[in-house]
Each structure stands twice: as structure tokens, then as C-alpha cells.
Amino acid sequence: MTNRHILLVEDNPDDEILTLRALRKHGISSDVVVARDGVEALDYLFGTGSYHDRDMGVMPRLILLDLKLPKVDGLEVLRRLRADERTRLLPVVVFTSSNEEQDILECHRLGANSYIRKPVDFNQLSEALRLIGSYWLQLNLIPKLYNSAK
């Protein structure tokens, strides 16, 4: 796969390790940036804070967004992404342990492209991430605006 720059927004170290392991298992891990809270995710996406000098011409091909994050929660991250012209069209897959109908509804209302409940079993997690990677990184067409992503 090419052009597979992923932003993984995940605060749980165990979930981060398992997600990265599953992505690596399917050859999807070479360009994964991890943000461990909502502030870090927003800093990365908008080139602020510790990411003030990053190349803003390179945007993630996919954002895997957890909901229950410290500092700024996933719903607020999604709200800010969709409110800004630079990030409005970025594919966001909410990948979370929450199965709450209100969370599902609110994420879709705010413009999430997909809502997937994170499987607990590693094999199921791995298969879910394989399918996510196949669809969003291989099959899904993106606007030329984001084609510079590496």
C-alpha cells in the first residue's frame, strides 16, 4: 500500500500497542503517527504546539479516533476537524470501545465517516484494522488536495 499516512489518536498504551501490532501485521504501519490525547491530535493536524514546524502539505490519509481522550475528548476533536476548511474532508474513523447509541449518533452528526467498536479480541481487532486499512487506504478515493500525503 502506498500513501498510507495514518493519525492514530489513542490514549490507552495497551490499545496503542495492540493497534500498532495489528497494523504492522497487515503491512500498514510504516507511516503511523500517534497522538495520545485530543490536544496533541489537534496540534498535529493544525501544525501548532510541538508540531508547529511540521509540513502542513502532508495530511493523514486516515484518522483513527478514540472518543474517551484526556484534555480534549474525541467528539471535540471531530467537531474542530469538521469546522476547519483544512481538515473538513479528512476521513475520520471513530475507533472506540464505546457502544453507546448517543456516541454513535453524535459522531455521525458531527461528520465521522465511520464508527467502529474496537474489538477486545486481538484477532478480531487485527481483522477489523485490516479491513479498515484495505478500504480507506486502497479502495477509497481522496480529493487531489490530500494526494500529497505520504
Within a domain: 100:
yes
Within a domain: 20:
no
Within a domain: 9:
no
**What predicted TM-score, i.e. pTM, was given to this entire model?**
0.91
Within a domain: 4:
no
Alpha helices in 26-121 (DSSP H): 38-46, 74-83, 101-109
Mean pLDDT of 56-73: 94
Within a domain: 94:
yes
Our count of domains for the chain comes to 1
**Structural domain that includes position 40:** 26-76+83-130+137-146
The CATH code of the domain that includes 116 is: 3.40.50.2300
Model pLDDT for residues 87-143, shown as the tens digit of each residue:
999 999 999 999 999 999 999 999 999 999 999 999 999 999 999 999 998 898 877
* For residue 1, pLDDT beyond 50: no
Neighbour-count burial of 9, counting CB atoms closer than 10 A to its CB (0-12 exposed, 13-18 middle, 19+ buried):
buried
